[in-house]
Amino acid sequence: MISVAKLYKTYRKENGTPVNAVNNVTLQIEQGVFAAIVGPSGSGKSSLMNILGLLDVPDSGSYLFNGKEVSTMNIDELADIRNKKIGFVFQQFHLLPNISAKDNVELPLIYSNKIDISGLAEKALIQVGLGDRINHTSAELSGGQQQRVAIARALVNDPDIILADEPTGNLDSASGSEIMNIFKQLHSKGKTIILITHDTKNTSCAQKIVKIVDGTIITDK
């Protein structure tokens, strides 16, 4: 499903010092796998996730997504893949304030080609256990509930992959466990899960664990 080879990505700090965030990364993730990319803070795991999620482009290297080379695609082609194939869950939830949970979940549907989108957002919210919070704004929800709204948003377009970047990072342990349970359920239903985390507790259910330090993969099991 995902196959990257010799990926490089270098950023420059404000003082101009180059940082090799992704350094010669070669990695395969098969469909239906629960993969965890782990590493300490600043190790480059989020940079790798941004590239894998097509939110950023590598400086060099090859990236095959479902067998197609994506590193040469234009931004609109990438946006189309993100819309149809990838669901994102971020550490900061990234919910739009002032609008309801349902409207937040519907966001990816606005840009999809689906003709009938009615009921899909509600269905996704019910799936994550928020059937009774459909019309609540994010300010009216707890952190755990907000992250569940974000998961519903990631699910609503029925993507093949869920990319989660530190999804429990801003949550207490009880809420974190609930969120991890949702990922386990999604995986059991056939979704490919790529979890970025620094917390090794969350990797217990992962079939594949990729450890990254200073932008380089040091273990891939």
Binding site for other proteins (CB under 8 A): 50, 53, 55-56, 75-76, 79-80, 82-84, 88, 90, 94, 96, 98-99, 103, 107-113, 115, 117, 153, 157
Looking at beta carbons only, is 5 or 96 nearer to other proteins? 96
Smallest separation (angstroms) from other proteins to the CB of 37? 16
Smallest separation (angstroms) from other proteins to the CB of 83? 2
* DSSP codes of every residue in 163-175: EEESTTTTS-HHH
Smallest separation (angstroms) from other proteins to the CB of 158? 13
Instruction: Report the Cα 212 to chain-centroid distance in Å.
Output: 17
Record the tokens describing residue 9, joined without a space: 């990505």
Question: Regarding beta strands 86-89 and 60-65, do their DSSP bridges make them parallel or antiparallel, or are they unpaired?
Answer: unpaired
What values do phi and psi take at 173, rounded to 5?
Answer: -65, -35
Q: Are 141 and 22 in contact (CB under 8 A)?
A: no
Looking at beta carbons only, is 98 or 173 nearer to other proteins? 98
Smallest separation (angstroms) from other proteins to the CB of 157? 8
* Burial annotation 110-140 (CB, 10 A radius, 16+ → b, else e): eebeeeeeeebbbebbebbbbeebbebbbee
Looking at beta carbons only, is 24 or 83 nearer to other proteins? 83
Looking at beta carbons only, is 191 or 206 nearer to other proteins? 191
Looking at beta carbons only, is 70 or 206 nearer to other proteins? 70
Smallest separation (angstroms) from other proteins to the CB of 71? 15
